[in-house]
Structure 1
């Protein structure tokens, strides 16, 4: 019989995924990157393959779109289209033929079907060979997401853990996060996210074609992370009531969220806030092959009326008031993705801001970006997408007003507060990297009498107006949960006459994204100050005053209004600070000799520093170290110490992270701990 029949096809799963840097993304599906060839081996029954008589024609399909191309014995001349090369060898006498298939470097991302047509002189057979996922390729110079450094690719594409930075600019807290892009089923969920998007449902052909462009892909994903316009992944909630879902602070990784979304038939997961939205988007983008990192902007402005001014109001006693639609978040978390921007001209390639937290609409949908970081720094407000909004987040001026019965008593302007620090995880390190200078040029030096210490806030006097006295606040040391907070108010008399001043100082608990709540501590004093004199008033806030008042964010707005009883002049100074929760200590004996496929013990220790008993559930997890999660119940009296040992067996070499979280019962507080370990091959 002269016909050639295909017996089976070997997709060379392990070899291809090793060559394409996709190992671990899927155990079932062939995962390859565009711009790099992958090979398949076809085994025929009956007679051997004859290249002079037999023709192999491949067809790759993405939905209803397809491309056909023939396999040849010569290498492809043009990288712009699909091609296939029959590998040299004793083909004429072999029933196994290996072919290298070349995907173009700028072809749509998605899940493809591969068909084979075998043609003879008077016959032909067609076969469904299998399917493969085609991803972006930051290893390929011709791909628009090319990242020209292996260390950068290792960090921003392959690293499956990281840190989210929270707290305040003066006391940055690290929160461990497991991106989980190598967990079973995550690749498939991320690809299906594209199918669920409104863009795909509205016009399948257009969506498939435009997936070649990471700018388009990133906007689709950004909008799909929140559920405001679509069947997106997460529902945002800043109300404080999370009874019908999960408190945003309790999430520790992206995989649980993505799996819950898919299992529910794509109903939104309750609940997320900015760091959750950003971390999940980072996972999806890394899966798709687009280099990504999570970035935190401290003192992030939400400028609702786009005038680059944020207004804050205080009463005469120093209590912050809810009188403005504008706000300053103590921190706000977004994503940067690396890509070329041929749509903007030269100079705007590189990191792009994408913010999936639903704040304002962009072209009618809740997404933000990609905004080139270079364009934000250059104040190119004319460029797409959403540069004016992000520019305000890092550059807006703060106008502070003291009011009484609707009457303005004092005003001030602060040009330094917003965008105080912008940071991300350092390359190959657990420490934050300051990237503020990529977003902002240094401001012109202030005059000597306007210099602001890194440890104190200057008096909020109107710039260019001389007050007769100055006020500042200063914490004695970084606050610690369970301990008394000590701080000082310093008053400097600039006049040659003595003054009688009245001090009003108060502390309010606050959430990171909103105005403070009620005052939980206050003090009032009368003081005399000599001409050109300096007075320092020391205050202390006992733990008993703040422990029950603080929310999960553990943030405090501290303010002092100093009033001259003679002239009625008022000067306001403010400070927002965080009280970090204690951490769970994780220790591994001989942590420099962690080997794959060998059992190791980790010891977890936590001491209850609070003055009340605590109870909750502790969860330990670690991608590549633990199968699933280890959970245990915890109950501790004040001062009690918890000690537990868990066993883990690393599956593969590399830097991995163990993390533990203790979720308290009937409290938003979450205690955390982490340890990174370097796993060596056995």
Structure 2
């Protein structure tokens, strides 16, 4: 696009210059194609570092005379500038310095095309470009304009270089991903629109860097450090949450969300970034781990750092770095909130791709960066970048936060049964944490299993000595447990617990084994069926008491009050294997459980002769009934063409649902929310809504539908549908 030149207020400017700059053509379409930046901005020329880009200078009535007039470009970033003398050359000079050249074939009487190349380790930022036309006696200066410089994963010398085209297509250019949530027993997925091609998203990402504490403290130092993707990733990770800066998202995990947006209702990073940017950097309410991670993935991809969203199923939060997490249960199987450490049913973070010269080439590749505010790292709420290979090999001293992240995927769960202040049973689970680790596959919506990449088949002892040891590792207080009021002894501090079952084997009670399994995939409206398998490996019969307990829990927190329990005396013969079936009918859980809720079920078997207890536990999520979404002509639509989307829900419950509401919305496809409602929705009856969608920009969009009813206000079904928007 042609841009009118602007003369700077330069004290050296004179009217004696033989040549005047009239117009500048940024050659944006061609530059954006060659730099893989098409669609990122409508306002700025966007190019990648270390790769030449070109601008065409058009002069006034008098053409430029290279014999008596020199062209000098000046690049400004902050308070620092660098002069670049334009050369006639077929070769590029030092790749570590700015350079500019003219090919003879690009010279015309009234214009000249200048090819500019930045150093491969340039800062990611918005630059200002000036042109000086100099003679021996005069200098006339012009403000050429601005351009944005990004990391370059296509360039071998860039620390974020990725060798394969399918990788850069997936981890840089693709504007959507898949999020995996739930539990290993019932994994749910939803598409997410990263939205890096939505208008204003690039500008919001650049603003994020400009309002960081590092930039506000010393902008020139910040600019100098922005060449390093390690520094960039830590800065951006901290800025996605707002805990100690002007960051994007405020987290919330319980209570009312009426003064914001419930985390489960987001499906697009662009909506969040727009809201933050247009509100003068006020935090957007609210996010949880998958929202934090998805927004960070967008920012990383926009700025040129290859990134992907990763889900860890059963992720441990180990605050004291012990690589073990304790859970406490009553003698009747009720889970207690006694430990500050916890296990999240799923946790979502980001992996970004880069070389790690600070650690050595053995630590290059994927790095974990976790923007969800959990604990401080070197005084700020961020986590990483931590090499995945360091996690697998348990090099806990590697920059940054390797011990904390290793515990997230490989900690042991120690389950303790307590009664009247005594520990009466203990099991150790070495398999549950990090049971599955998923990300979206390249070129497919199917999950790629990364578990083996994080976890060695043979568990290795932690190693703390590597080439570099962090100056300030994650700082946390060593917390044993919290004071809590429990059902088995009143107010009690878990540090007061005594071992009342010394000598009992872990997971066994004198030849007694117990396991707990869930039949099928539990779904709202159907009974929950469980099977307790009890094995008596001893040579004598046993009399035991079985206690079974079920509680609703948050995916990242402790269970709430029990909603179902049962107990029974059982006689088991020597060598016998008993399979005990248990059913929780819909009528006994529907007032407590909503779709996608997570349930903790635990069984405690107590030997009535020895008073020894053994426990088995299982957690699973409840699936919601599905909402159908269909788009006329298929899921690929043309930009600005009108299409019809048909959204419907069939009542599969055996009873009438009152106050049924079906809601449809979609960023970049629909304006606002569109609803259909019925006072009564009988069994087998359908509620549907037809909407007209028009895509306002190319890329991938997400259409979201929700269904709710007043019988159980907490029960909400959701479905997400991916729509690809083509320009022609």
The 1:533/1:661 distance shift into structure 2, 3 A limit, reads same
What is the rounded CA distance, in whole Å, between the counterparts of 2:278 and 2:417 in structure 1?
A: 52
Q: CA deviation at 1:106?
A: 1.1
- Equivalent residue, structure 2, for 1:42: 57
Structure 2 residue ranges without an equivalent (≥5): 1-15, 461-503
Q: CA deviation at 1:628?
A: 4.7
How many residues of Structure 1 are paired with residues of Structure 2 in the alignment?
663
Matches within 5 A, 1:438-453: 438-443=453-458
Tell me the TM-score normalised to structure 1 length. 0.93
SS in 2 for 1:26: coil
- Equivalent residue, structure 1, for 2:45: 30
- Equivalent residue, structure 2, for 1:254: 269
- Equivalent residue, structure 2, for 1:118: 133
- Equivalent residue, structure 1, for 2:625: 582
1:320 and 2:335 aligned: yes
Q: 1:81 aligns with which of 94, 97, 101?
A: 97
1:501 and 2:544 aligned: yes
Q: CA deviation at 1:633?
A: 4.1
Q: 1:645 aligns with which of 672, 677, 690?
A: 690
- Equivalent residue, structure 1, for 2:576: 533
Q: What are the superposed Cα offsets for residues 334-355 of structure 1, whole Å, 9 maximum, x if unpaired?
A: 1100111011012111100001
SS in 2 for 1:323: coil
Q: CA deviation at 1:664?
A: 4.1
Q: CA deviation at 1:272?
A: 1.2
The answer as to whether partners of 2:102 and 2:115 remain within 8 angstroms in 1 is yes
The answer as to whether partners of 1:617 and 1:634 remain within 8 angstroms in 2 is yes
What is the rounded CA distance, in whole Å, between the counterparts of 1:511 and 1:465 in structure 2?
A: 29
Structure 1 residue ranges without an equivalent (≥5): 446-460
What is the rounded CA distance, in whole Å, between the counterparts of 1:105 and 1:462 in structure 2?
A: 60
Q: CA deviation at 1:478?
A: 0.7
- Equivalent residue, structure 2, for 1:674: 720
The answer as to whether partners of 1:512 and 1:553 remain within 8 angstroms in 2 is no
The 1:128/1:670 distance shift into structure 2, 3 A limit, reads farther
What is the rounded CA distance, in whole Å, between the counterparts of 2:593 and 2:347 in structure 1?
A: 20
- Equivalent residue, structure 2, for 1:613: 658
- Equivalent residue, structure 1, for 2:445: 430
The 1:604/1:619 distance shift into structure 2, 3 A limit, reads closer
Q: What are the superposed Cα offsets for residues 155-197 of structure 1, whole Å, 9 maximum, x if unpaired?
A: 1111111111110012211022111111111111110111100
SS in 2 for 1:521: strand
SS in 1 for 2:718: strand
SS in 1 for 2:543: strand
What is the rounded CA distance, in whole Å, between the counterparts of 1:435 and 1:190 in structure 2?
A: 29
Q: CA deviation at 1:603?
A: 2.3
Q: What are the superposed Cα offsets for residues 612-640 of structure 1, whole Å, 9 maximum, x if unpaired?
A: 335446233265xx265563244462533
- Equivalent residue, structure 2, for 1:455: none
What is the rounded CA distance, in whole Å, between the counterparts of 2:197 and 2:619 in structure 1?
A: 39
The 1:607/1:508 distance shift into structure 2, 3 A limit, reads same
SS in 1 for 2:305: coil
SS in 2 for 1:344: coil
Q: 2:705 aligns with which of 661, 664, 668?
A: 661
The 1:399/1:587 distance shift into structure 2, 3 A limit, reads same
SS in 2 for 1:517: strand
SS in 1 for 2:97: coil
- Equivalent residue, structure 2, for 1:154: 169
SS in 1 for 2:443: coil
The answer as to whether partners of 1:247 and 1:668 remain within 8 angstroms in 2 is no
What is the rounded CA distance, in whole Å, between the counterparts of 2:637 and 2:254 in structure 1?
A: 44
Q: What are the superposed Cα offsets for residues 54-97 of structure 1, whole Å, 9 maximum, x if unpaired?
A: 21111111121211101111032221111111132273x51011
Q: What are the superposed Cα offsets for residues 640-671 of structure 1, whole Å, 9 maximum, x if unpaired?
A: 322233334567877x3542131648855553
Q: 1:269 aligns with which of 260, 284, 291?
A: 284
Q: CA deviation at 1:552?
A: 6.5
The answer as to whether partners of 2:310 and 2:437 remain within 8 angstroms in 1 is yes
What is the rounded CA distance, in whole Å, between the counterparts of 1:43 and 1:608 in structure 2?
A: 68
Q: CA deviation at 1:24?
A: 1.0
1:572 and 2:615 aligned: yes
The answer as to whether partners of 2:676 and 2:687 remain within 8 angstroms in 1 is no
The 1:629/1:15 distance shift into structure 2, 3 A limit, reads farther
The answer as to whether partners of 1:425 and 1:433 remain within 8 angstroms in 2 is yes
What is the rounded CA distance, in whole Å, between the counterparts of 1:168 and 1:338 in structure 2?
A: 27
What is the rounded CA distance, in whole Å, between the counterparts of 1:240 and 1:552 in structure 2?
A: 18
Q: CA deviation at 1:22?
A: 0.9
1:245 and 2:291 aligned: no
- Equivalent residue, structure 2, for 1:185: 200
Q: CA deviation at 1:463?
A: 4.1
- Equivalent residue, structure 1, for 2:4: none
The answer as to whether partners of 2:391 and 2:454 remain within 8 angstroms in 1 is yes
What is the rounded CA distance, in whole Å, between the counterparts of 1:631 and 1:585 in structure 2?
A: 16
1:475 and 2:518 aligned: yes
SS in 2 for 1:284: helix
Q: What are the superposed Cα offsets for residues 545-570 of structure 1, whole Å, 9 maximum, x if unpaired?
A: 22221256510001111222223222
SS in 1 for 2:292: helix
What is the rounded CA distance, in whole Å, between the counterparts of 2:543 and 2:507 in structure 1?
A: 25
Q: What are the superposed Cα offsets for residues 528-550 of structure 1, whole Å, 9 maximum, x if unpaired?
A: 22221122221111222222212
What is the rounded CA distance, in whole Å, between the counterparts of 1:16 and 1:55 in structure 2?
A: 25
SS in 1 for 2:664: strand
The 1:125/1:670 distance shift into structure 2, 3 A limit, reads farther
Q: What are the superposed Cα offsets for residues 202-242 of structure 1, whole Å, 9 maximum, x if unpaired?
A: 11111010000000001011111111111111111123232
Q: CA deviation at 1:326?
A: 1.0
SS in 2 for 1:255: helix
SS in 2 for 1:557: strand
Once structures 1 and 2 are overlaid, which stretch shifts more, 207-216 or 575-584? Answer: 575-584
Once structures 1 and 2 are overlaid, which stretch shifts more, 30-39 or 257-266? Answer: 257-266
